[in-house]
Structure 1
């Protein structure tokens, strides 16, 4: 028996996830959705104090465990100031450039539960007024939220319930093309999360017996650097960050293969475990690329920094234009899903 893969179910889960706002620090709704998907598959879950969700499937060897994590928190903004004009000054959540968010529709999430529409714009947007509309620095001093409400000053904006500290989420603009491309914000890391949730549900539904106990850890603080470095079971010996592959000049990764990271800004990943993943790809004919991500860190590297004595590795689908208007292809998602299945059914790495 092999673990089945349902691409359409994965994309349906992805559609749900990207349309559930979840900037780091404001992930309650999406974590409830994650928990519901796992519970619907018949899995018991644990919720950590930080809000992460863990589901476990017992293997034939219950003394040496594996943990696979994907994160569902995203980039976003937070209200820094209500400006005299009634518009909002933002501070960033996560690492991105303001030009990547300029022009995007957004939601302001107020403390009383309201969701107020707006658009992220440069203050100097109107070319008929501002000579420097195209050249002014894209910075927190110039970027603002234009609310879709009749507000002209601080008092009118505050009457809407908007205040400093309210979270701002960016519209995903999810689209699936006829030739297999998937375009959306927040594919980092909701594409991997969807695949991991689909895998957990498929194992539970198939009754396939795993060689080792596997923990499926959905974290909710990765974009700010400390997602999956707590509540790791003591029996864990291998820790996989299932996250995006970075694409650009000088990179090997693309949108049609699974990307295996050998090194990122935190340093090299565990050599033996990384080679084990590459060997599984070669054995099963899984399209893959080995790569280095120069400006990148993962939940696996955060766990290593926190002192966990585990072998750590990182792989996932290739994502174009990370932390902006992202894109991948169903071929990359399928390759990543195949490696996930090969990995959980394999023995532990030897080195």
Structure 2
């Protein structure tokens, strides 16, 4: 059992694919709840039955590429990884949920052995109710899930490659699961879905079908209406900046600003008596980095009125001093 704190993406990638179960705690120094989960992990490390588990602490802001890869939108978040694939996650400071998830996945890891040829095979029996519960979580992991051989970047069979091509052509928002890396899921899903072959495509937790069904629905035009569409970052940012007539993107929130600039801005905003909304960019690395490009403004806080950027703290100070702040925030 071990604890690692990688400082580079390369170091993380090595740990991620080191074999066995890897528990990754995405954290931030400013979040008190992360320290709570650190203490939970310190206790888990001491337990002998978890001696083969690798624990990793990642600063979500420092390794933003890794955070984006795992779609980390808030801290603390703990992601359980086996052979480079996510098998479970626990969001928030939930000690009981993390303990249960780690022990369950560690037990499953102990049932897996590697044959001389390098193929992963199951050597133990898994309770069918546990497997059904796991399969249900997997098919509901996102609105659209494709169980395939390989990954979208490297399909391992022609049927999987063709299905990925169809989904990409339709700009579908989907997640995937490589059934070649998990024999339990590969065999169990056939019974669960009563569908003997792969790939299998699920939408809203229900089986849509395999490649033949996907191609038929593509031909009739039905598939386009069923599949969730990708939301671009710019589309998401547009929705956020228009969420309220006055939007403040800052570090922390109005109750607990996480930097001096944000605190000073909130003090000014409170004096106006106007209604406004805030967004904590520390909880969302995608927004934090994307908004800098979207607005062509490199720092925070940022204030928007009716979807248009007013500026940061310096601009707001100038408006406050000149007496124009309230009218500007009202969009006048």
Question: Which is higher, the Rg of structure 1 or of structure 2?
Answer: 2
By percentage of residues, which structure has more helix? 2
TM-score category of the 2 structures, normalised to the smaller one: under 0.3
**TM-score, normalization by structure 2:** 0.24
By percentage of residues, which structure has more strand? 1
**TM-score, normalization by structure 1:** 0.23
